[in-house]
């Protein structure tokens, strides 16, 4: 069986793909490709943040890297719970005579 041939995205040489996602003929070319920004998709595991915010409760900087991640104000459900608990406690104090 013939494996598909591809041209290396960095040096342009034809090579035989070992994996369907392979875009470079060698490790050196892969690195070069990354460096010059040809391809950031192979072997992903990017930790490019979609957005960052500061947790409204603990002040930790939260980096959201997943589109499914809906967090916007708190780093965790625990922080969110504590935050609202404190808010309630504070407003009760204010209302007290
Ligand atoms: Zn190459
Ligand atoms: Zn937090």
Does residue 31 sit in the same domain as residue 62? no
Ordered per-residue pLDDT tens for the chain, 97 residues: 667 789 998 899 999 988 888 889 999 998 888 887 765 554 454 567 889 999 999 999 998 888 888 999 999 999 999 999 998 887 777 666 6
What is the distance in A from the centroid of ligand 1 to the CA of 23? 9
Report the pLDDT value the prediction gives residue 95, as an integer from 0 to 100.
Answer: 67
- Residue 34 CA to residue 43 CA, distance in Å, equals 11
Number of domains in the chain: 2
State which residues have CB under 5 angstroms from ligand 2, the bound ion. Answer: 55, 57-58, 60, 75, 79
Report the pLDDT value the prediction gives residue 78, as an integer from 0 to 100.
Answer: 95
Which residues span the domain enclosing 62? 51-95
Does residue 84 sit in the same domain as residue 55? yes
* Ligand closest in space to the Cα of 82: 2
* Ligand closest in space to the Cα of 39: 1
The structure's pTM equals 0.45
Q: C-alpha angle with apex 13: 11 to 19, nearest 5 degrees? A: 95
- Residue 7 CA to residue 13 CA, distance in Å, equals 5
* Ligand closest in space to the Cα of 56: 2
């Amino acid at each position: 069986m013939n494996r598909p041939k591809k041209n290396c995205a960095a040096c342009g040489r034809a090579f035989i793909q070992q994996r369907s996602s392979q875009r470079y003929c060698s490790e050196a070319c892969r690195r070069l490709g990354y460096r010059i920004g040809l391809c950031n998709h192979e072997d992903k595991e990017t930790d490019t943040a979609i957005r960052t915010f500061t947790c409204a409760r603990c002040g930790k900087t939260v980096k959201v890297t997943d589109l499914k991640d809906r967090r916007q104000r708190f780093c965790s459900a625990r922080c969110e719970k504590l935050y609202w608990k404190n808010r309630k406690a504070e407003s009760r104090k204010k209302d007290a005579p």
